[in-house]
Amino acid sequence: MKKDKKPDNVVFNEDTQEYHGKLSPFATGVSAPKITPPDVTSWKNTHIVSANNQFKAEYEALQASYKKLMDNFEYNNLVYSAKFSFEPIVGKEYHLYKAKDESTFLSLILPQECNFNHVGSFRLTSDKTWDKIK
C-alpha cells in the first residue's frame, strides 16, 4: 500500500503522526522568507591564516627548543668524553682544551693563563649536565 507523501512545506512527524511546524526554529510556510546561509568565506580565510601563524610560531619554538637541547647534548657529550683526573664540583667553572693529538681535556686553568687550544668554558649544574658559559 502506498503511503501518502506530504508536500515539502509541511512539517509532519511520521512517528508521532503530528504536525511540528510551530515547533521548528525556522519558518516553514511557503510564504516564509528564503533561508540563505551566511557567506563565511572571509571569516574562514582570516582565521585559517591566524591559526596557521599560531602553528608556525609553535613549530618554530619547538624547533629552537630542540636545537638548544641537541646543542646541550653535544656539549655534554664533548665534556664527558674529555680526559680529566679530578672530580668536578657543581657550580664551578671548567675549561675544555684540545691537545696536540686532537684529544680533549678538562682543566681549571683559565684560557688567559695558558696557550692551549681553548674549545670552551663550562659549568657543572646540579643535575650533572654541563652548561656552556663562553
Cα distances from 62 to residues 55, 69, 72, 86, in angstroms, run: 10, 10, 15, 37
Q: Is residue 109 a contact partner of residue 95, using CB atoms and an 8 Å limit?
A: yes
Predicted confidence pLDDT, tens digits, the chain (134 residues) = 456 776 665 677 778 877 776 667 777 777 777 878 888 899 999 999 999 999 999 999 999 999 999 999 999 999 999 999 999 999 999 999 998 898 999 999 999 998 889 999 999 999 999 999 96
CB proximity list for 11: less than 8 A, separation 6 or greater: 19, 20, 21, 24, 28
State the pTM of this model: 0.60
- The beta strand positions in 1-134, using DSSP E, are 12-13, 18-19, 93-98, 104-107, 117-124, 130-132
Q: Please give the span between the terminal C-alpha atoms of the chain, in angstroms, as a whole number.
A: 92
Domain ranges of the chain: 71-134
